Amino acid sequence: MPLFPNVINSKLPQVGTTIFAVMSKLATEHKAINLSQGFPDFSCSLELIGLIDKYMKGGFNQYAPMPGVLKLREMIAEKTQKLYGATYDPGTEITVTAGATQAIYTAITAMIHENDEVLIFEPAYDCYIPAIELNGGKPVFYQLKAPNYTIDWTEVQKLVNHHTRMIIINTPHNPTGSVMSAEDMTKLEKLCKNTDILIISDEVYEHILFDGQTHQSVARFPDLINRSFIISSFGKTFHTTGWKIGYCLGPKNMMEEFRKVHQFLVFSVNTPIQYALADFLKNADNYLGLNEFYQQKRDYFNKLIAGSRFGCNPSTGTYFQLLSYEGLSTEKDTEYAIRLVKEFGVASVPVSVFYHQPKDNHVLRFCFAKQNETLEKAAEIICKI
Ligand SMILES: Cc1ncc(COP(=O)(O)O)c(C=O)c1O
């Protein structure tokens, strides 16, 4: 089709094809074992699928209420109360969203005005910056300290000023697999005291922590709760990333603004899945077993690659493992990741792409949410490199 010139003044001129798409395409072309994609290659629960079938056949196929099916919001409130001791009113403080991405976009759109500064920790999941910029906000960056990707809160404090409107945290953390401690959270609490800073806490991996650690949800911290949106994703918890369903928790006054945007962005989220999830959440084993499930995968993968020349600091949460190729090559991580697909047949994601200006620590992200057979094939290749 002929293009009409000069009609498009891009709002996101920097955004092009993501490395995720590039790596996946390359992986397919080269028939590589794909550990670049951040989602499981195994099935979700058949019981859950059966429940959706039941509700679809039972006629639950029209619009859900704008904030979500009440039964599901009640189950989310119950889970949050049990796990983190926080009380959220299903009527006014919980909204079901089309995945965490929509919740993050909605929260930023509801709260960020022109020239507001939003502090984010890099490397960062890729949907934060575009959402901030589309709303006229300015992202301000703090670089987590490699190799364990920790936070020095005295340095963070120096980035905060009277323009700072929001801080976005993500624990457990994609792409690094690091986890914020209770001490981190109390330091964040202290930093926010006597300010009007809001928080988005991206907790989509809340049920994937290893070695007996406890998830430090913002919901555990009374001085953070009243200024925070907490966002989670059923996609991560129930191996159903393709269903795009999650939720947002927040105090009533913030949630009111959130819902104003939500109702014009999506209005509501698909109905039968919400009813099915409400039933499925009744059995806490369905999500509490996830730590153990993924810890076994992490340990299995790490054992398989123990003899390789890659450096490995075991991941402490999420389903990602970083591997360092320091000493193996001096190439940029983007080039090295591409070479691994083309020459060796294994796909990963270079961590530099999670920075607004590429910062290269010579590390690659591998996703171990894969069947053991996939992990074995990938490890065999990794050990040969
Ligand atoms: C840290 C983080 N936040 C948000 C999301 C988006 O979740 P959803 O698929 O529910 O939109 C992801 C997905 O990979 C993620 O890793």
Cβ atoms 359, 310 nearer than 8 A? no
Where a domain ends, among 260, 286, 312?
286
Enter the tokens of residue 182: 């209770």
Residue 11 included in any domain: no
Dihedral angle of Cα 308, 319, 86, 169, to the nearest 10 degrees:
80
State the pLDDT at residue 14. 85
Enter the tokens of residue 115: 């020239």
State the pLDDT at residue 185. 98
User: Which is the closest atom of ligand 1 to the Cα of 245?
Assistant: 10
Q: Does 356 lie in the same domain as 237? A: no
Nearest CA, atom 16, ligand 1: 174
Torsional class of 346: left (φ above 0), alpha (ψ -120 to 50), beta (otherwise): beta
User: Which is the closest atom of ligand 1 to the Cα of 241?
Assistant: 9
pLDDT in tens for each of the 385 residues of the chain?
Answer: 877 767 888 999 888 877 788 888 999 999 999 999 899 999 999 999 999 999 999 999 999 999 999 999 999 999 999 999 999 999 999 999 999 999 999 999 999 999 999 999 999 999 999 999 999 999 999 999 999 999 999 999 999 999 999 999 999 999 999 999 999 999 999 999 999 999 999 999 999 999 999 999 999 999 999 999 999 999 999 999 999 999 999 999 999 999 999 999 999 999 999 999 999 999 999 999 999 999 999 999 999 999 999 999 899 999 999 999 998 999 999 999 999 999 999 999 999 999 998 889 999 999 999 999 999 999 999 999 9
Domain containing residue 131: CATH number:
3.40.640.10
Q: Does 208 lie in the same domain as 114? A: yes
Give residue 194 CA to ligand 1 midpoint distance, Å: 31
Where a domain ends, among 286, 317, 336?
286
User: Which is the closest atom of ligand 1 to the Cα of 318?
Assistant: 16
Q: Considering only CA atoms, which of 166, 175, 167 is closest in space to residue 204?
A: 175
Give residue 5 CA to ligand 1 midpoint distance, Å: 35
Give residue 125 CA to ligand 1 midpoint distance, Å: 8
Q: How many Å apart are CA 284 and CA 304, to the nearest integer?
A: 31
Nearest CA, atom 14, ligand 1: 38
State the pLDDT at residue 112. 98
State the pLDDT at residue 192. 98
Q: How many Å apart are CA 22 and CA 34, to the nearest integer?
A: 12
Range of the domain at 321: 19-44+288-384
Cβ atoms 364, 292 nearer than 8 A? no
Question: Which DSSP string corresponds to 56-73?
Answer: HHTT--SPPPTT--HHHH
E strands, the chain, are 33-34, 94-97, 117-122, 138-143, 164-170, 198-202, 228-233, 246-249, 311-312, 320-324, 346-347, 349-350, 363-367
Residue 54 included in any domain: yes
Number of domains in the chain: 2
Q: Does 237 lie in the same domain as 96? A: yes
Q: Does 301 lie in the same domain as 311? A: yes
Query: pLDDT tens across 250-281, in order?
Result: 999 999 999 999 999 999 999 999 999 999 99
Give residue 186 CA to ligand 1 midpoint distance, Å: 25
Q: Does 167 lie in the same domain as 123? A: yes
Give residue 100 CA to ligand 1 midpoint distance, Å: 6
Q: Of the residues 36, 121, 233, which should be mutated to test ligand 1's pocket, given the most ligand atoms within 8 Å of the CB? A: 233
Q: Does 38 lie in the same domain as 56? A: no
CA angle 146, 152, 153 (to 5 degrees): 150
Query: pLDDT tens across 294-332, in order?
Result: 999 999 999 999 999 999 989 999 999 999 999 899 999
How many CB atoms within 10 Å of residue 65?
A: 14
Q: Which residues line ligand 1 (CB under 6 A)?
A: 38, 99-101, 125, 170, 174, 202, 204, 233, 235, 241, 244, 246
Q: Does 26 lie in the same domain as 81? A: no
State the pLDDT at residue 1. 80
Residue 295 included in any domain: yes
Q: Does 276 lie in the same domain as 292? A: no
Is this model's pTM higher than 0.95 or not? yes
Domain containing residue 299: CATH number:
3.90.1150.10
Where a domain ends, among 270, 286, 302?
286
Strand partners, 94: 249
Question: Which DSSP string corresponds to 228-249?
Answer: EEEEEEHHHHTT-GGG--EEEE
Give residue 347 CA to ligand 1 midpoint distance, Å: 20
Residue 6 included in any domain: no
User: Which is the closest atom of ligand 1 to the Cα of 99?
Assistant: 10
Give residue 40 CA to ligand 1 midpoint distance, Å: 13
State the pLDDT at residue 17. 78
Q: Does 189 lie in the same domain as 75? A: yes
Q: Does 304 lie in the same domain as 219? A: no
Q: Does 198 lie in the same domain as 140? A: yes
Give residue 341 CA to ligand 1 midpoint distance, Å: 25
Give residue 42 CA to ligand 1 midpoint distance, Å: 18
Q: How many Å apart are CA 255 and CA 261, to the nearest integer?
A: 10
State the pLDDT at residue 3. 78
User: Which is the closest atom of ligand 1 to the Cα of 170?
Assistant: 1
Type and span of the H or E element at 92:
none
Q: How does DSSP classify residue 193?
A: T
State the pLDDT at residue 147. 92
Residue 7 included in any domain: no
User: Which is the closest atom of ligand 1 to the Cα of 233?
Assistant: 10
Q: Does 230 lie in the same domain as 97? A: yes
Residue 125 included in any domain: yes
Residue 122 main-chain phi, psi, to 5 deg: -105, 150
Q: Of the residues 168, 169, 204, 229, which should be mutated to test ligand 1's pocket, given the most ligand atoms within 8 Å of the CB? A: 204
Q: How many Å apart are CA 31 and CA 102, to the nearest integer?
A: 32
How many CB atoms within 10 Å of residue 249?
A: 29
Enter the tokens of residue 32: 């590589």
